[in-house]
Structure 1
Amino acid sequence: MNRLSVAVLICLMWVGSAVAGLEIHEVKATSAVFENGYILVVGESEGGQTRYKAKRAATVIAQRAMAETVKGLKLFGASTVSQGMLLEDSIQTSVQGFLQGAEVVAEEYVDQGGYARVAMRLNLRGENSLYATLAPTLQDPPSVLKVSALETFIPAEQIVELPPQAYDGLIVLVEGTDFSPALGNRILTEDMKVLFEPSMVSPKMLMDRGCGSFATTEEKAKALLSSWGSTNPMVVKCTKVLQKTEAVISESDASLLFNQNKQTNILPQAKVVFVL
Structure 2
Amino acid sequence: MPAGMPLGQAKLMARRAAIVDAQRNLVETIKGTAVDAETSMENYIIKSDLVKTKVSGMVTGARVTSEEITSDGTYHVVMVVPMYGIGSVADAAVTAMVGTNSTPTPFPAPSAAYTPAAAQTTTTTTTTTTTTTAPAQTVSTTPATAISAAAPSAVAAINGGYTGLIIDARGNKMIRAFGPNIFDTNGRTIYSVHNVSEDYAIKYGIVSYAEGSDAWQKAESGQLSRVGSHPLIIKMAAPKARCVFNCDVIITPADADRILAENQKTHFLDNCAVTFEI
What's the TM-score, normalizing by structure 2?
A: 0.71
CA contact (8 A) 1:54 1:114 kept: no
Matches within 5 A, 1:1-276: 50-110=10-70, 112-140=71-99, 152=108, 154-156=110-112, 157-160=114-117, 161=120, 162-217=157-212, 218-222=216-220, 226-228=224-226, 230-242=228-240, 243=243, 244-276=246-278
Check 1:257–1:53 CA distance in 2 against 1; reply closer, same or farther (3 A cut).
same
Check 1:126–1:91 CA distance in 2 against 1; reply closer, same or farther (3 A cut).
closer
Check 1:58–1:182 CA distance in 2 against 1; reply closer, same or farther (3 A cut).
same
Work out the CA distance in 2 between the residues paired with 1:237 and 1:206.
24
**Structure 1 residue 163, shift from structure 2 partner:** 4.5
**Structure 1 residue 51, shift from structure 2 partner:** 1.5
Work out the CA distance in 1 between the residues paired with 2:2 and 2:262.
57
**Structure 1 residue 94, shift from structure 2 partner:** 2.3
Identify the structure with the greater helix proportion. 1
CA contact (8 A) 2:94 2:178 kept: no
Runs of 4+ in 1 over 6 A off after TM superposition: 45-49
Check 1:235–1:46 CA distance in 2 against 1; reply closer, same or farther (3 A cut).
farther
Work out the CA distance in 1 between the residues paired with 2:223 and 2:98.
23
> Which AA in structure 1 matches 2:185?
E
User: Counterpart in 2 of 1:7?
Assistant: none
**Post-superposition CA distance 1:117-164 (Å, at most 9, x none):** 1111112123332223333323349xxxxxxx9x94642324223244
> Which AA in structure 1 matches 2:251?
I
**Structure 1 residue 96, shift from structure 2 partner:** 1.9
CA contact (8 A) 2:168 2:235 kept: yes
**Structure 1 residue 186, shift from structure 2 partner:** 0.3
**Structure 1 residue 251, shift from structure 2 partner:** 1.4
Work out the CA distance in 2 between the residues paired with 1:234 and 1:192.
22
> Which AA in structure 2 matches 1:203?
E
CA contact (8 A) 1:51 1:114 kept: no
Identical columns (%): 24
> Number of aligned pairs?
223
**Post-superposition CA distance 1:214-273 (Å, at most 9, x none):** 121312434787324711011111111112221001112111110111122211211111
173-182 or 68-77, larger mean C-alpha shift: 173-182
The gaps in structure 1 that reach 5 residues or longer are 1-44, 142-148
CA contact (8 A) 2:41 2:93 kept: no
The gaps in structure 2 that reach 5 residues or longer are 121-156
SS of the counterpart of 2:178? coil
Work out the CA distance in 1 between the residues paired with 2:265 and 2:187.
24
User: Counterpart in 1 of 2:136?
Assistant: none
Work out the CA distance in 1 between the residues paired with 2:109 and 2:186.
9
CA contact (8 A) 2:35 2:179 kept: yes
